[in-house]
Amino acid sequence: LLSEEDLKRALSEQKYSKKRLGEILIGKQLLTERQLAEVLSRQLRIPLISLARYRPMGEALRLVPENVARRLELVPLAILDNNRLMVAMADPLDVLAIDEVRILTGMDVEVGIATPTEIFRDLDKFYQVQGSLDDAMVEVVESSGSTVDLDREGRGASADDAPVVKLVNSILEQAVREAASDIHIEPFEKVTRVRYRVDGSLFERAPPVAENRRHSTPYSRGSASPR
């Protein structure tokens, strides 16, 4: 795939440019993003992650602000046992980025590799979704003061701008985007968990509720089908 002469030229260019070697090789069309990821995965013995098969946990996304994730070119995927955060990175050799996430979250960082195209596609998709759910939940909380009566809110809302209506719409719109067969909404003491069933598996999208006194469950009736 890559001749010795091509590699020498790329290394020579790297010396006077600020680009990473992989970026140079891809720019010269000597390797594809996927091929580079596969090579790094084998050499570094870290998992190669196909982000098309992963749906990040809501809790993981909230640990790393979107602007930080974009700057470091990574997607927070999951919170693991023993205080570990799983992330997919375009450059798993970027130890400064890994350290920044570790300090920011207070968690150990488990790294997998994904292509930059996959990473930015996921950042565009999932942070936008999580943000809309969070905003909708906050609006419900602030408008309710304590608890929300879905039936009362529904009767009083003459348009789609009622907070509860907007929250439910956000959840249903995400279900359609995910091609989900079911929505599972589970209230806990301080948070409400929202999970979608896709291809038989449940994936979490959890809007936060910061305080128990604000905890509302207007839609906590087990599961509902968007179809």
Q: DSSP assignment, residue 52? A: G
In 3D space, the residue among 200, 201, 191, 197 whose CA is nearest the CA of residue 225 turns out to be 197
Partnered with residue 68 across adjacent β-strands are: none
Sign, CA dihedral 168-186-213-127, equals negative
CATH of 46-114, one of 3.40.50.2300, 3.40.50.300, 3.30.300.160, 3.20.20.70: 3.30.300.160
Q: How confident is the model at residue 55 (pLDDT cuts 50, 70, 90)?
A: confident
Average pLDDT for 198-202: 70
Contact 137, 58 (CB under 8 A): no
- The percent of residues in the chain predicted with pLDDT above 90, rounded, is 27
Q: What are the two backbone dihedrals, phi and then psi, of residue 224, each rounded to the nearest 5 degrees?
A: -135, 145
* pLDDT on residue 226: 39
pLDDT at residue 158 greater than cutoff 70: no
Q: How confident is the model at residue 216 (pLDDT cuts 50, 70, 90)?
A: very low
Place of tokens 């980025």: 97
- Between 217 and 61, the more confident residue is 61
Domain made up of 125-224: CATH architecture: 2-Layer Sandwich (3.30)
* pLDDT on residue 128: 67
Contact 26, 13 (CB under 8 A): no
pLDDT at residue 69 greater than cutoff 90: yes
Give the mean pLDDT of the chain.
75
* pLDDT on residue 221: 32
Q: How confident is the model at residue 162 (pLDDT cuts 50, 70, 90)?
A: low
Domain segments of the chain as ranges: 46-114, 125-224
Average pLDDT for 74-98: 93
Longest dimension (CA), the chain: 72
- Between 147 and 105, the more confident residue is 105
Distance between CA 88 and CA 72 in Å, rounded? Answer: 11
Distance between CA 193 and CA 138 in Å, rounded? Answer: 14
Rounded to two decimals, the pTM is 0.57
Q: How confident is the model at residue 100 (pLDDT cuts 50, 70, 90)?
A: very high
In 3D space, the residue among 97, 94, 98, 93 whose CA is nearest the CA of residue 108 turns out to be 98
* pLDDT on residue 227: 36
Task: State whether residue 203 is helix, strand or coil.
Answer: strand
The DSSP secondary structure of 113-167, one letter per residue, reads E--HHHHHHHIIIIIHHHHHHHHHHHHHHHHHSS---HHHHHHH-SSTTSHHHHH
Distance between CA 221 and CA 96 in Å, rounded? Answer: 45
Q: DSSP assignment, residue 93? A: T
Average pLDDT for 123-151: 57
* pLDDT on residue 133: 52
Average pLDDT for 1-10: 79
Pairing relationship of beta strands 108-113 and 84-89 according to DSSP bridges: parallel
Contact 101, 69 (CB under 8 A): no
